[in-house]
Structure 1
């Protein structure tokens, strides 16, 4: 990697500081997204017992992975500060560290001057060798592991991976993030069109009509444009600019799930029509387990957006409790919603809110039908900002002109999903192409590789003492944990692959 990549974080500004409660709300909103609506049906289909066990395991695996992301970001900050301190600073963090060793500082500055012509591997190898000669005066234990720069996953891949690994990383991230935005761009306008159109109103060609003779398809495309024009501008700013939107969305999410749980419990207590008998609810249905895992992977996905939340936190020592509490809160909500849904509806829809389409109280019915609009709308800017920042890093330029930085990259983020949304409204088609493979790679494989390679690099540069003083070090400090996570990812992919093959070739049997 040439010197042109050395300051990639400089063009992804951190933004204003964020409190721990706000970081919790951001992560919580990102977790409690579209996957939560598909989870009850998958939960019931796979069986309540095995689904409960797997849900806890998947939540725990996501927490392990998220803690690896925090450690990886801290290591990447340290390596980047060593490799490329700000030239306009009077005294850099690296110079303060090496102030007690003139020889060490001289060696390090020599490397800076030669950085433009060295590859990434050669650079870190030479740096490690030279610094090790003045290890005692280097004082790795005094180095700050604070996440001071927002380093996106793309830039972390540039730091930790070789060229092949970087290419594979971008393939996974681009597919996942663009797929996510395309799903949001389709699902929200589709929900709006379904609510606003009357299914029984058709013309002579049997085309569903909406208002003033406008067809359902035309209404859908109108809602696509309205949605993108309303929510797309948030992608031009930082994640912190969506604070009010996140708070409003969080209130709506809690209200929606509370109402659904209350209605489901009322159905169970009153033994209403369509409530299954307890003996008919199966504990284990093995053929549906891969489907449940595929849905659940998305329910606990937050790793790709952690740099936008953790970096601006005022107290980064609270990062682990914030992640743990957000994941635990979502796990609790998932469990309550899934259990009440399983024992209150004999037939669960793929999108849980559709089970309330015939609810007698019309305002509540419409509120629940529009819930997908609420939850996906709040996540769209976060996903978009993450994709925008990774695209900026992909082009590997230190500084961009204002027009390119503030206009071109946000448009590159928004336009492709919008085009897809105008061409199709088949959410299932988009989900199948987005794929659980890229999701599993981002949630499990990439963070595990980051922390394994990061721990090796930081020991080469600073010695074994450095990791022990990393305040953002994962609580899963043994290198066995990343290996376990990689094995788990392989198992998840195998289950999903089985499901895809089974659905494609044996669904009619």
Structure 2
């Protein structure tokens, strides 16, 4: 298969590497909030719920892949039309030159035959057109979700997509800030109350000889984090290969330590977790966390397009989802039975024990400190990238192409708009689980369910109109009936209604 448009051979990678990238993208911040959500909703209800949501997420992922192929097909079709038009213009110029040179000869019949041949002539040559038609649906060009929305959606609806995407990115940044600030706060505060076994609260002191509270320290850590990472949003950065490798290694090391630690607890009969089998009232909370934990749709074009061999990409994605689901089961089930109380950020369950400061070995203490700082290491590297993505999407939403704007508007205003709102949210609340639930239940479910369903609907409609049924799409999703698209959209709407009711009830409490 030819190289992707705009991609050099060195920028491409094998299907196995591509699936590792998808795995790393999905298994991110969301999995750290899964154990607490599992414990609240019950192990039985959570096991069935995450299985259902994994299946639905995979279905919509295949729709995104199909839409990518349709977008490439439309672009290929347009290029062929341009080449045909250029070829006809060249034939007309040659014909006029011949007519001027042989003006004294009448060749009406010959001209008519020539016109008929031009109408039936291929775009370039027979070999080229056959090869191009065969690659109509080849995913060779990286077409982002926003570009597909502009290509397939009716007017105005592409703006709706950008708005929802910006809201999701805002939620992402707020989650990152809260997770990093909480981890920093818990690694700094050393005050031990009289009843050290009780969980610390925001109004507890941070230091023994200071009136500074844990909440105030959390807000100071939030401000410090923004002070360090915020300036990067004013520039253009790219995530380097070595940064990706370091982040991936750190993530796998931390996940492996947490799972192994919980298994050792259970093997030594030290597990104190007794979660219920089901608590239906916590299902909306579980829904938002699970949706966020399977989010990858907005980044699929960047991950799948460079894959060298894509013929089996739909089946390989199914295997990837199964592996991720098993990993989530392992992480969540070991955690809910090992710990009696689970923090909204799972790494906080491994922080150094305040009640046992003398008999803790250096290795155990170092591992606990590493897990406590794990969100700081990984999320800090991703924060500028997500903030810059949000900044660019805000520009695309608000600025008109071709119009000149002031330096403050282009270089200062939109970076500030990208970092100020999530920072204010971070100051107000430190509840990472609630932030993940809201972000996943509203903006996340729209991007993961509604956008793929509507996108593939319009993509199929447009390709049928321009290309017809003669060329088969090898990346067609397993579920082709339009009823599935309606079912998913109705499902997303009902889930958002249930989540809204749940949040209202929690607020009234």
Give the shorter-chain TM-score range. 0.7 to 0.9
CA offsets per residue over residues 194-241 of structure 1, 9 Å max, x none? 31343455488721499xxx9664344223222345x758x8245xx4
CA distance in 2, matches of 1:430, 1:50: 22
Task: Note the C-alpha offset of 1:80.
Answer: 3.7
CA distance in 1, matches of 2:36, 2:505: 18
Give me the CA root mean square deviation. Answer: 3.9
CA distance in 2, matches of 1:307, 1:400: 29
CA distance in 1, matches of 2:309, 2:399: 30
CA distance in 2, matches of 1:148, 1:237: 25
Pair 1:160-2:152 in alignment: yes
2:242 equivalent in structure 1 = 244
1:383 equivalent in structure 2 = 386
2:28 equivalent in structure 1 = 33
* Matching of residues 443-454 of structure 1 within 5 Å: 443-454=448-459
CA distance 1:379–1:499, shift in 2 (3 Å): farther
1:23 equivalent in structure 2 = 18
Pair 1:301-2:295 in alignment: yes
CA distance 1:224–1:381, shift in 2 (3 Å): closer
CA distance 1:423–1:335, shift in 2 (3 Å): closer
CA distance in 2, matches of 1:432, 1:260: 23
1:7 equivalent in structure 2 = none
Pair 1:493-2:496 in alignment: yes
**Match for residue 373 of structure 2 among 353, 370, 374:** 370
Task: Note the C-alpha offset of 1:380.
Answer: 3.4
* Matching of residues 3-82 of structure 1 within 5 Å: 17-20=11-14, 21-82=16-77
Task: Note the C-alpha offset of 1:452.
Answer: 1.0
CA distance 1:64–1:409, shift in 2 (3 Å): farther
- TM (normalized to structure 2)? 0.75
- TM (normalized to structure 1)? 0.75
Task: Note the C-alpha offset of 1:157.
Answer: 1.6
Deviates more, 1:408-417 or 1:248-257: 408-417
CA distance 1:163–1:295, shift in 2 (3 Å): same
* Matching of residues 102-117 of structure 1 within 5 Å: none
Q: Contact between 2:40 and 2:275, CA under 8 Å: does it hold in 1?
A: no
Number of matched pairs: 444
Task: Note the C-alpha offset of 1:337.
Answer: 0.9
Task: Note the C-alpha offset of 1:441.
Answer: 0.4
Task: Note the C-alpha offset of 1:408.
Answer: 4.5
Task: Note the C-alpha offset of 1:43.
Answer: 0.9
Q: Contact between 1:29 and 1:378, CA under 8 Å: does it hold in 2?
A: no
CA offsets per residue over residues 283-308 of structure 1, 9 Å max, x none? 22211111111110100001111122
CA distance in 2, matches of 1:262, 1:416: 38
* Matching of residues 206-245 of structure 1 within 5 Å: 206-208=211-213, 217-229=219-231, 232=233, 236-238=236-238, 241-245=239-243
CA distance in 2, matches of 1:170, 1:410: 21
CA distance in 1, matches of 2:164, 2:500: 16
Q: Contact between 2:43 and 2:278, CA under 8 Å: does it hold in 1?
A: yes
Pair 1:185-2:177 in alignment: yes
**Match for residue 442 of structure 1 among 447, 455, 458:** 447
**Which consecutive residues of structure 2, in runs of 5 or more, have no partner in the other structure?**
93-118, 124-128, 192-204, 354-359
CA distance in 2, matches of 1:13, 1:179: 32
CA offsets per residue over residues 156-182 of structure 1, 9 Å max, x none? 222222234223222211111122123
Task: Note the C-alpha offset of 1:446.
Answer: 0.4
* Matching of residues 425-436 of structure 1 within 5 Å: 425=427, 426-428=429-431, 434=439, 436=441
**Match for residue 272 of structure 2 among 266, 270, 275:** 275
Say which one has the larger Rg.
2
Q: Contact between 1:26 and 1:246, CA under 8 Å: does it hold in 2?
A: no
Task: Note the C-alpha offset of 1:338.
Answer: 1.0
CA distance 1:376–1:71, shift in 2 (3 Å): same
* Matching of residues 354-365 of structure 1 within 5 Å: 354-358=348-352, 360=360, 361-365=364-368
Pair 1:350-2:344 in alignment: yes
Q: Contact between 1:224 and 1:418, CA under 8 Å: does it hold in 2?
A: no
**Which consecutive residues of structure 1, in runs of 5 or more, have no partner in the other structure?**
1-11, 86-92, 107-132
CA distance in 2, matches of 1:179, 1:201: 28
CA distance in 1, matches of 2:210, 2:278: 46
